[in-house]
Amino acid sequence: MAKTKTNSVPVEERLTALYELQKIDSQIDNLHKLKGELPSEVENLETEIAGLNERNEKLKEEIKELESKISKSNAQISDGEALIAKYEKQQESIKNSREYDSIMQQIELQKLDIQLVQKKNKETVANIKLKEQLLEQGIKKRDAKNKEAEAKKDDLKKIISRTEKDEKTLVKQREKARKTIDERMLKSYDRIREFYKDGLAIVSIERGSCEGCHNQLPPQMIVEMRARKKIHNCEHCGRIFVDRQIAYPHLEHNEEDNSMSEFPDYSEEAWED
């Protein structure tokens, strides 16, 4: 559906359409505020859990490699002991001192090799114990993070189950409302909304001040804004002004009203109740 041309639509209608869109977006913002940081917290926890799992698997592989190394070293020790036994048996048939010295030299070399391998095995065993401790700590930390993530997911599911229906309805209303506003105005509206944390792009004037930034406004601007002949932006914060009678048409002038929708109250206080 094509956007309505700006020049063919009266300022009052354009402001009313923008304000209606702002009301819908504010309701959606309130729903998202209920979720708070839960979605990002869950995502961060899942990323951390994945990292812990990867680290734990790496430790398991390293432990297996070290255990394999010890197995090979033990086999090497067994081979060395077998050679020693062989050389000792050969001593029974020695014919001269030269053969005796040669065999003794081989025995000593094998014993030195065995001692070296045994020393390395002790270091490897100590390394295995250290990695096993790290693995145990990693598993405990991973399990704790899993528990924390599940609790946050449960909280998030409760919020979503409570608000999902209204959010879907509001999203449909937002899509319909955006189709009634020209592209240039939407770009300006979206840009202002993205700039402020409260998401307010359309505000009224309260007691001569901008409802968004609370700065005092020149009386002439207020008069011009209420004439509804052109669209005015706050000279301090850039938000778009809407006449209070457009914002709250069902109220008497100067009467205040914080209600902007027929949807349930999704404030944090209401949620806690």
pLDDT in tens, 203-259: 988 889 999 999 999 989 888 888 888 889 999 999 999 987 776 666 544 444 443
pTM over 0.75: no
List residues bridging with 209 in a β-sheet.
206, 216
Cα 268 to its chain centre, rounded Å, is: 21
Amino acid at 217: L
pLDDT on residue 149: 96
86-100 pLDDT, tens digit each: 999 988 888 888 888
**Which among 208, 235, 233 is positioned nearest to 222, based on CA atoms?**
208
More confident residue, 32 or 73: 73
**Which among 11, 6, 1 is positioned nearest to 182, based on CA atoms?**
6
* Burial class of residue 113 (count of CB atoms within 10 Å of its CB; 0-12, 13-18, 19+): middle
Three-state SS at 259: coil
209 φ/ψ angles, rounded to the nearest 5 degrees: -125, 155
Query: Domains of the chain, with CATH numbers?
Result: 9-35+176-272 (no CATH), 38-163 (1.10.287.1490)
**Which among 22, 32, 27 is positioned nearest to 200, based on CA atoms?**
22
Please determine, for residue 268, whether its predicted confidence score (pLDDT) is greater than 50: no
